[in-house]
Amino acid sequence: LLVFTDLDGSLLDHDNYDWQSAAPWLDRLRDKAIPVIINTSKTRAEVATLRQELDLYAPYIVENGSAVILPPEWCLNEAVDDSGWAVVHLGADYTRIRDVLEAVRSQERLSFRGFGDMTLQEVVERTGLDEQAAERARDRQGSEPIVWEDTPDQLTHFQQLLAGTGLSLTRGGRFHHVLGEEVNKGAAVRWLCERHEAIFEQSVRSIALGDGENDVSMLKACDRAVAIRNDHGRVLEVEGAYMTQHSGPAGWAEGLDHWLGHDKEADR
Ligand code: 2M8
Ligand code: MG
Ligand code: MG
């Protein structure tokens, strides 16, 4: 069994980034050696720190499917870097995304701000992260979070312009995210499940937990899905998904209780 999870609004509380209520399930999954695979809009630098705080050891997916980070046991031909892990890029290049954004903004006179346009202080204020964490959030490789300050019609127009340059747009909890074409959390899940089968020579069952629009592809890519109520009280509608009453980490635990609580699935 592989557990794929979103962070903000799912495993982590949307406002204070806490995971208290999920801790008992994290312990149980760790005891059973079931990998908990983070699949998030966050950057490699952010997740490298968070996974240690969460005491998780497993591959992870960053920037909405833009890259997969592998521990040595999950590598085939990839070489690990100084950190001892390997990075597989599945998305667009960050410098190219910034170039396209700057060109589109000046040519079309659109108003939006990306992390690359903001001071560190502005990122701190908009995210509620402390300075070090905000620094890690700005260390991007394949996607750019933006704040849209123009009309909804212009957003549709913007999305079409992006498509013409081979980029796309998705929605996180707070920001829109500009990233590569056909790059999404679900595609990265499929990539990792295939890698699991190639290495461990057995097909794998999967469960996904998420609360945002950018999680839908991940929920659909897994055998079991948990749609966690978001902080506005809304729940994603995904066929077959269990919809939680609670939000954040309490909803996360509720979802695992539902799918893994009473049967033997968590024992396999
Ligand atoms: C951004 O992502 C979140 C999560 O979905 C969002 O759009 O609300 C990312 O930039 C991430 O790197 C950052 O940590 C987070 C902080 O709230 O915002
Ligand atoms: Mg979320
Ligand atoms: Mg997210």
Nearest-angstrom CA–CA distance, 257 and 141: 35
Mean pLDDT of 109-114: 97
| CA angle, residues 267, 41, 171, in degrees to nearest 5 | 115
* Integer Rg of the chain from CA: 18
From the CB of 39, is ligand 1 less than 6 Å away? Answer: no
**Residue 28 near residue 22 (C-beta atoms within 8 A):** no
Q: Are 4 and 236 in contact (CB under 8 A)?
A: no
How far apart, in whole angstroms, are the C-alpha atoms of residue 133 and residue 153? 33
Mean pLDDT of 118-133: 97
Give the pLDDT score at 67.
Answer: 98
| Domains with residue ranges and CATH for the chain | 2-90+184-267 (3.40.50.1000), 94-180 (3.30.980.20)
User: What confidence score (pLDDT) does residue 202 get?
Assistant: 85
Ligand 3 centroid – CA 210 distance (Å)? 8
pLDDT (mean) for 84-98: 98
Atom of ligand 1 nearest to the CA of 115: 10
Q: Give the ipTM of the model, two decimals please.
A: 0.92
The mean pLDDT value for 55-74 works out to 98
Residue 192 has pLDDT above 70, yes or no: yes
pLDDT tens digits, 4-49: 999 999 999 998 989 999 999 999 999 999 999 999 999 999 999 9
* Ligand 2 mean position, distance from CA 198 (Å): 30
Q: What integer is the mean pLDDT of 236-260? A: 97
